[in-house]
């Protein structure tokens, strides 16, 4: 290290020389001690200078998602849309002769859509957007929970103006749910998280802030009022899902995204949600309606949908033959049920049933309302054979002959 050319005090010398030697050594010793301490400080950094590690599992956003995600569900709907079409030649002929040669044919289109919802009660009540489960003919609602279990849901009620709806699934145990009695205070600038099934990808998360309150917008000719605004990404499929804060409390329900202004200007970071307070109040009203509804049917009638078993099994759309309608058509009053449409390639279509004919009897029982028809068909199932007495009886007793036709349910 360091060398010093001095006399050793053991080899003798005057007292003055020894004193000078000791004085010369003191500054050198102090320098060596200071150098050693400084070297140690650089070689071994202080523990306080080491950055502390953060466990991702303890992040507030992760905890909030883990809290709410078990209550979020994927909603798949399927509906049959009916529309009537005419042969183009008939349209051409009608321009010259003023009448159509044939009645329009009805075609059925099967439409599927997807969205999100979340459980608000352990008994299986789910709230979502009305536009996700809006009622239509032959509507079927399938709910897939976060643990990948599938349920058939039934529509309870909805409010198109608020774009909220309540559906119900039945499970054999209590289900996780979002507590509507502990909602977020909704403060501008607070961090919010969108949870849902964006583009069909389950358990998708996006994050942003609450960036606006009381927004009125129009999307696809639908008016929305008093919405909250967020820059968290809301994509197709997120509709009906929860928007939560970092405590996992409900901020609102994802409802709409504005991709373009009414003038066609593209936008960014403009997502909108229904406030949690509106969701809470509306769900309370919906539950009161649910309490007054009869329990769901079981057994053969459990699969009956909005269009009835006549449509599901035989392809028949029926309508009550009111006195006014009977008079307008020239039919006998108070007798039979009118066939309003026949599904192409259905058992009824193959048997020659046509729109405008009347069903007077099913089996050995006379029928005068759609309810009576549905009650008699409640026990029918795929493969069942049913006798229909079909024809037209005019006011004068004349008309197309009434014939009994046997149909086999599909």
Q: Does the pLDDT at position 9 exceed 50?
A: no
End-to-end CA distance of the chain: 102
Q: Which residues contact 97 (CB under 8 A, 6 or more apart)?
A: none
The pTM of the full predicted model, rounded to 2 decimals, is 0.58
Q: Which residues contact 132 (CB under 8 A, 6 or more apart)?
A: 75, 77, 113, 115, 116, 117, 165, 239, 240
- Distance from C-alpha of 306 to C-alpha of 290, rounded to nearest angstrom: 17
At 24 the pLDDT is: 57
pLDDT in tens, 84-138: 555 555 555 555 555 545 555 555 555 566 789 999 999 999 999 988 887 544 5
Go through the domains of the chain in sequence order and give each one's CATH number. 191-276 (2.40.10.10), 308-408 (2.30.42.10)
Give me the active site residues, please. Answer: 131, 163, 239
pLDDT in tens, 378-401: 888 888 899 999 999 888 766 668
- Give, as one character, the DSSP assignment of residue 2: -
């Amino acid at each position: 290290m360091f060398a010093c050319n001095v006399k050793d005090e053991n080899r003798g010398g005057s007292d003055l020389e020894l004193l000078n030697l000791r004085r010369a050594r003191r500054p050198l010793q102090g320098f060596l001690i200071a150098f050693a301490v400084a070297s140690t400080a650089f070689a071994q950094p202080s523990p306080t200078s080491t950055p502390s590690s953060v466990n991702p599992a303890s992040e507030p956003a992760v905890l909030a998602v883990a809290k709410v995600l078990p209550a979020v569900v994927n909603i798949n709907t399927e509906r049959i849309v009916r529309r009537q079409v005419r042969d183009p030649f008939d349209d051409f002929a009608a321009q010259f002769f003023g009448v159509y040669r044939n009645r329009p044919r009805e075609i059925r289109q099967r439409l599927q859509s997807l969205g999100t919802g979340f459980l608000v009660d352990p008994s299986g009540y789910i709230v979502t957007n009305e536009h996700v489960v809006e009622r239509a003919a032959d509507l079927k609602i399938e709910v897939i929970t976060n643990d990948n279990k599938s349920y058939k849901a039934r529509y309870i009620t909805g409010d198109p103006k608020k774009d909220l709806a309540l559906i119900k699934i039945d499970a054999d145990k209590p289900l996780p749910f979002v507590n509507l009695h502990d909602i977020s205070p909704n403060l501008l600038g607070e961090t919010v998280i969108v949870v849902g099934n964006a583009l069909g990808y389950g358990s998708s998360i996006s994050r942003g802030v609450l960036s606006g309150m009381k927004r009125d917008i129009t999307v696809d000719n639908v008016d929305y009022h008093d919405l909250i605004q967020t820059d968290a990404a809301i994509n197709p499929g997120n509709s009906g899902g929860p928007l939560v804060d970092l405590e996992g409390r409900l901020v609102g329900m994802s409802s709409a995204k504005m991709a373009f202004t009414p003038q066609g200007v593209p936008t960014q970071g403009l997502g909108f949600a229904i406030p949690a307070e509106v969701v809470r109040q509306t769900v309370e009203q919906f539950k009161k309606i649910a309490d007054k509804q009869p329990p769901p049917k079981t057994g053969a009638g459990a699969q009956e949908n909005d269009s009835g078993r006549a449509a599901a099994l035989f392809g028949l759309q029926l309508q009550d033959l009111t006195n006014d309608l009977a008079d307008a058509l020239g039919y006998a009053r108070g007798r039979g049920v009118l066939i309003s449409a026949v599904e192409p390639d259905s058992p009824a279509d193959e048997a020659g049933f046509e729109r405008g004919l009347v069903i007077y009897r099913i089996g050995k029982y006379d029928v005068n309302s759609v309810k009576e028809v549905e009650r008699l068909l409640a026990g029918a199932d795929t493969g069942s054979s049913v006798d229909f007495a079909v024809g037209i009886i005019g006011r004068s007793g004349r008309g197309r002959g009434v014939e009994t036709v046997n149909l086999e349910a599909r």
